[in-house]
A and B are shown apart, each in its own frame.
Chain A
Amino acid sequence: MTSTTQAQGITPTRRRGGKRWYPYLLIAPAAALVAIFLVYPVGSVFYYSLQNYNVTMPLYNGFVGFDNFVAIANDQKFWDSLLFTFKWVVVEIGLQFVFGLILALLINQAFKGRGIVRSLVFTPWAVAGILTTTIWLLIYNPTTGVGRYLADMGLIPYGTSLLAGEDTAFWAAVLAELWKGAPFFAILILADLQSVPAELYESAEMDGAGRVRKFLSITWPHIRLAVVIATLLRAVWEFNNVDLLYTLTGGGPAGSTTTLPLYVAQTAIYDRDFGYGSALTVIAFVLLIIFTAVYLRINRFGKDD
């Protein structure tokens, strides 16, 4: 429908006098980078998934077809990790989004010291992965962390740590990751909020609209597009990124906080069973495709993207 595309600013290529190659030229650098540095390596993972490939046991290496995948279906650890991954991503992204949104809305307002607050509040995103996990490790440690001072005050017994209980370890990890990830959403949403014309709010106020109403009818539609996609990318990233879990909980206690990608890391990297790890990655890949399709469908993405 030309009216919709025009309102969204998409130029059918035949306008502007025949520069058909314009978009291709613009997209060329991105396309080249992606093709060379991403597509080929991803392809090789698929290749390895069909192999038995352990660099330290070269005797058994070779093509094994779908054996790895059959083994996965019978692998209880795989199924457990799958379930946990789902829980982890949903909880984590949900919380990060909500916190980030609230943060952005708060900081979007004019108040004294806003600049300083803004810089401070966004800094967790800037901290390197190793550092984030180490700081939280120290915080959760019963001797060096918050727990010790709480115990000194007699609030909790000594020697307890959130990381030692299966449920508490989950929430401890969620909290640490939330600390790091919420600012991402906050920055993104804040930047997007700037595109909302002020008049809309003013006229809505004059019509007597309250906070929530203003948010739902004005703010949300404007930021929705970028938020939906960024959330998807972040969900995928959160799915795949194991640094925090690996260092904070090691997938424990007793394997209770092992996500599928963490299992992949343990297999492919620490056990050096690259073939099995690649097969697990392929499964994760397929699952993510399905998830993405469903997610985009739910958000009524339509044909624009």
Chain B
Amino acid sequence: MRSKTMRTKRWMLVSVAAIGAMTLASCTSGGEGGGADGEVTLELWDTDTRPERTENLEKLIDMFEAENPGITIDYLGLPTDSYMQKISTAISTGATPDLLTPKASDISALVAQGALAPIEDVFVDGGWEEQIDPVMVESTRAAAPDGQLYMTPATALVDVIYYRADWLKEAGLETPATWDEFEAAAEGMTDKASGQFGYTIRGGSGFFPQFMDMVYTRAGIGELFDEDGASTLDDPAVIEATQAYVDLYGATTADSDLTADFKVMIAQFSGGGAGMLSHSIGSYPTILESLESEQIAVGLPYPSENGSQVIAQLTTGFGMFADSEHKEAAAKFLEFTMGEEGNSFWAEASGYMPGNTAVADEPWVAESQALAAAAEARSNPDAIPLNVPYYLPEWTSITDTAMLPDWQSVLQGNMSVEDFCTTYAKELTEAQARYEDAMK
């Protein structure tokens, strides 16, 4: 008995000592940046962390650091599904970093929390107004509650339609150029007996961007609200287009698309379950991992019946935190992301449309199918940009959380398209009214 006790006691002492040693070791780490002689360390948080993107971002940082000795940037990768929560948590204790990689749809929420610093001055004083694509600049400004610029319009994600070129060929079809051809292609490529569907529709979380892509473009309407602040969701053209969109479900799409979110849609398309997919150019690299580029064709959503071409795009870029103590250094990085060198590298590596107009003329843009389609959109002077009201604080809670269950009811046939559109048109109109009141 005594020997067992001794052994046990020794075990306990050893493990306590081990924990103690490891603790001491970890205590010595974690020094703060920004030490001596003008050395500045910035913290950058990435909101869409993926292995390839991290690699590219770190290269971008290296390029910047090479040209700006004395500034170092520490990178932190936040998971795509929970970065907002992390930022809110950090704000609650003032533990925010210096730089961020937001999307335009994030700006409103971040500005409302007082997180981002306006960068109008940096932008205008640096002469960037002339160098960056004006549509991108405008939409980035419009995404903020006060219409100011809070993010560098470094890149844009244009919404496109992907096709299985090999399936089209097999079915003897051309790449569709009108909505009717689209529907014909969807039917032509559907072979339920062998598990091939012409299209994959997003019935699940995050459905609204794709909804807008396919409905507002078909209706030819580029504004979500008219001049009086009323929602256009119950406009007859929109309702008609919605009905056509909804009719695709079950007929040329898998039943399982009812709950399909992005992951499921991509798996469908890349895995040979669907012949067409609506998404942004951002997913092109992922698709290429499973399919050859000859098997894929990319195009924009088609013009509406009255000939209007609506383009949907989301700008993404870099922003600066309001509480940052190194705003000058941070601003330098922001400018680097808009400059030819930085912008070209970043856009090309990510596969996004560059904001810098000079960069947009570079050869690599035309070489990528997805970007070529996006560039075509940009060069069309009559193209109507889809004006998404990201500035509305309730935008995501209405279009993602509130609408989703009813959207699925519509797909199931339990709710009529008119009911759906009129109900939510009302909610959106009310939200817009609240916003306008608050801004007075």
Contact = CB atoms under 8 A, between A and B. Distances in A.
State whether these chains interact. yes
Interface of A: 54-59, 137-138, 141-144, 147-148, 151-152, 157-161, 163-164, 169, 249-255, 258, 266-267, 269-273
A143 B271 contact: yes
B192 A55 contact: no
A34 to B, nearest CB: 21
A163 B259 contact: yes
Interface in B258-308: 258-259, 261, 263-264, 267-268, 271-273
Interface stretch (B44-52, B107-115, B127-135, B237-245): B107-115
A253 B267 contact: no
B204 interface: yes
A160 B195 contact: no
Interface in B225-255: 253-255
B273 A273 contact: no
A266 B254 CA distance: 27
Interface stretch (B2-10, B95-103, B360-368, B400-408): B400-408
B256 A142 contact: yes
Nearest to B438: A59
Contact of A269 (B85, B108, B196): B85
18 contacts: A54-B393, A57-B394, A142-B268, A143-B195, A158-B194, A159-B197, A161-B256, A163-B258, A249-B259, A253-B258, A253-B259, A253-B405, A254-B405, A270-B396, A270-B400, A270-B401, A271-B401, A272-B84
**3 pairs of A and B residues whose beta carbons are closest in the complex:** A159-B254, A161-B256, A158-B195
Contacts of B203: 253
B396 A251 contact: no
Contact of B256 (A54, A163, A267): A163
B380 interface: no
A144 B267 CA distance: 7
B401 A158 contact: no
Interface string B186-202: 00000011111100000
B422 interface: no
Contacts of A141: 256, 264, 267-268
Contacts of A158: 192-197, 254, 273
B226 to A, nearest CB: 24
Interface size bracket, B side: 35 or more
A159 B109 contact: no
B413 to A, nearest CB: 11
Interface of B: 84-85, 88, 91, 108-109, 112-114, 192-197, 203-205, 253-259, 261, 263-264, 267-268, 271-273, 393-394, 396-397, 400-401, 404-406, 408-409, 412, 414, 438
A253 B108 contact: no
Contacts of B196: 158
A250 B397 contact: no
Contacts of A169: 259
B404 A250 contact: yes
A252 B271 contact: no
A206 to B, nearest CB: 34
Given A158-B194, A254-B405, A269-B85, A142 B438 contact: no
Contacts of A249: 259
A161 B401 contact: no
B195 A151 contact: yes
Most chain B beta-carbon contacts within 10 A, residue among A54, A142, A157, A273: A142
A159 B205 contact: no
Nearest to B205: A250
Contacts of B192: 157-159
Contacts of A137: 263-264
